[in-house]
Amino acid sequence: MAVPKRKISKQRGNSRSANWKLTAPNLSECSNCHELIEGHKVCPHCGYYKGKPVVVKKEKEE
């Protein structure tokens, strides 16, 4: 069983976990409606992926 031989100081433990950063998602422009979307995903606004319709969006009835 793995057991630490010496106590790890707070500074050493905190500095190790200080490099965990969140990054903003890379956004690209939809080729159909020109909205910003995440890469490799269907556009939630128009339902197109790589210039082809994938999801049929229902229009709102008023």
**pLDDT tens by residue, 2-58:** 898 999 899 998 898 888 888 888 999 999 999 999 999 999 999 999 989 998 877
Place of tokens 């890469």: 39
pLDDT of residue 62: 66
**Nearest alpha-carbon partner for 38 in 51, 49, 53:** 49
Count of helices and strands (H, E) across the chain? 1, 4
What is the pTM (predicted TM-score) of this model?
0.56
Residues 6+ apart with CB under 8 A from 28: 36, 37, 38, 39
pLDDT of residue 20: 86
pLDDT of residue 58: 75
Torsion sign over Cα 48, 51, 53, 57: positive
